[in-house]
Amino acid sequence: MTMTKAESLTFALAQVNTSVGDIESNSRVIFDYASRAYEQGAHIVVFPEMTLTGYPIEDLALRATFRKAAEDSASAIARKLKNNGYGDLFVVVGTVGTSHDARSAQGVELPTNTLLVLHDGEVIHSYDKQFLPNYGVFDEFRIFTPGHRTLTMQIDGYRLGFAICEDIWQDNGPAQQLADADLDALVTINGSPFEENKDSVRLDLCIKRAQEVNAPVVYVNQVGGQDDLVFDGGSFVVSKEGTVLARLNQFDQDMRTWTLHADGTSTADELAREMDTDEKVYRACVLGLEDYMRKNGFKGVVLGLSGGIDSALVAAMAADACGGENVWGISMPSMYSSDGSKDDAADLAQNIGAHYEIQPIEPIFTSYQEQLNLEGIAQENLQARIRGVIVMAYSNSHGLLALATGNKSECACGYSTIYGDAVGGYAPIKDLLKTRVWQLARWRNSFAIENGQVPPIPENSIIKPPSAELRPGQKDSDSLPEYELLDAVLEAYIEKAHGRADLLADGFDEKTVDTVMRLVDRAEWKRRQYPLGPKVTALAFGRDRRLPVTNAFRE
């Protein structure tokens, strides 16, 4: 039976930042935002995927005790909302559930990725995600069991359908199943990680689904960092004609309302501003670091400041993430360090307001050499490892998060010293090619100038030829192709999975192709030991790319 529509239905899109496993804290966030939504006149508030449990929960889903805690908390939130006068509000929230239709071979009930609707003190509806992604960073097919039923419901005469993230990415999914359901809106809750240039893909996808169901799509996405993933939020509502009816901020918690009227028109809060690509990538790296620190209890960071562009950009990101006063920059000059590099490191620390200390490594290096008498690469690596020991000593003694400053080009080619400059608990620019590092450094300085601030990164750190300064006159180009060429080959080899024949067909010369492939393939073991860092490209090292360490294939 179709009810007569009320004059309007107001949605609150609650884009929140929750923590994996912290069900108690996440419950408070849900209650807080739900109560605020009610006070703002919303009839229904929509939270992202797995909000109650955090996302992704990986194998926590397999623990029955964890699922029981989530179930109990959902019921408790519903009761608390009613007891506080918010029982009329419909609350759409993601969590982990338990399937009663499927069991493992051992007879154990299986977990589900579930959407709940809370109302009037109870859980009144549930929906289990049908399509479980098993590519890139996702392992949901291994963890969850899929649902098989659609969900629709009416609120004040408005008919709503529901989906969870991957459900709308697959053709012939819930949108197609609900094509004839006469929906007024399709609501999808999401945990979609950030990737450069992903915004337009999401929008185009939702327009396609809106056309399928002949109604607007309400897309609510998670925001925040979780280990090596960054969720950018950017929630929106889009019409079947492709008009963005509502849009929330990226990289921040946000809640805005969108009101659907009985005549099919709608009104919304002011649309959030759109960012350019450089700002998005920079803010993704900062948010990843900020949340890794906050959710793991770190108040400050320590890193080596060499005067080079990589450590400069990481230090600037760290200052933006936790405040310059919580950044410890350690200059560790050797006999090969130039005066310019020392000056650049000191200027950077002053610009961002960081603690700055100088720990010369030459006396320690001399002591090692008196016993070991190393030469060549071994001697160069010794310097890097001494610096790694110093950074970790500061980390341990002051309770600071040690930051690795390597970029994606270096990680790809193994151009870092394991247990040396690769030490640390987090690597903020791990997924940025070297050319991208320069680009973001220039963007950050320009942003500072536009806002009347001191540019954090010394110009000399940006323009001087990169060097590890581990031997007299050393430059990166002694061992690697020029970065413009190197990064182009790396992008094709790694992100596009082009083999040797493909790379030659791309127009790269044979010597460069063979050099880059050899370096990348030989460095897989190093990358397995490299710290976590935020994923910002379509294919990052780690969950995205899983190649064997022992690998004889060279084509």
| Separation CA 541–CA 523 (nearest Å) | 12
Identify the CA nearest to 211 among candidates 235, 169, 179.
179
Annotate 470-487 with DSSP letters as a single string: SSTT--GGGTS--HHHHH
Amino acid at 410: E
Angle between helices 434-450 and 277-296 (to 10 degrees): 90
H or E element, residue 331: strand 327-331
In total, the chain counts a number of residues equal to: 555
**Coil, helix or strand at residue 79:** helix
**Coil, helix or strand at residue 298:** coil
Is 239 annotated as a binding-site member? Answer: no
129 among known catalytic residues? yes
Q: Which of 5, 80, 129, 434 is catalytic?
A: 129
| Separation CA 152–CA 155 (nearest Å) | 10
Q: Which of 5, 140, 165, 322 is catalytic?
A: 165
49 among known catalytic residues? yes
The tokens 């509000």 sit on which residue? 89
Is 304 annotated as a binding-site member? Answer: yes
Phi, psi of 341 (to 5 degrees): -65, -40
375 exposure class (CB count in 10 Å sphere: 0-12, 13-18, 19+): exposed
Respond yes or no on whether the N-terminal peptide bond of residue 174 is cis (omega within 30° of 0).
Answer: no
Is 362 annotated as a binding-site member? Answer: no
Identify the CA nearest to 237 among candidates 214, 209, 206.
206
Three-class SS of 5-58 = CCCEEEEEEEECCCCCCCHHHHHHHHHHHHHHHHHCCCCEEECCCCCCCCCCCH
Is 135 annotated as a binding-site member? Answer: yes
Is 10 annotated as a binding-site member? Answer: no
H or E element, residue 445: helix 434-450
Is 199 annotated as a binding-site member? Answer: no
Annotate 137-195 with DSSP letters as a single string: T--HHHH--------EEEETTEEEEEEETHHHHSTTSHHHHTTTS--SEEEEEE--B--
Q: Which of 49, 71, 290, 380 is catalytic?
A: 49
Is 358 annotated as a binding-site member? Answer: no
Is 208 annotated as a binding-site member? Answer: no
Is 405 annotated as a binding-site member? Answer: yes
Identify the CA nearest to 117 among candidates 61, 78, 164, 72.
78
| Separation CA 130–CA 145 (nearest Å) | 8
Is 367 annotated as a binding-site member? Answer: no
**Coil, helix or strand at residue 466:** coil
Is 198 annotated as a binding-site member? Answer: yes
CB 30, CB 91: distance < 8 Å: yes
Is 338 annotated as a binding-site member? Answer: no
5 among known catalytic residues? no
Identify the CA nearest to 220 among candidates 184, 256, 266, 194.
256
Residues marked as binding for L-glutamine?
Answer: 135, 192, 198
Residues marked as binding?
Answer: 135, 192, 198, 304-311, 381, 405, 410, 526
By annotation, the residues acting in catalysis are 49, 129, 165
Residues marked as binding for ATP?
Answer: 304-311, 405
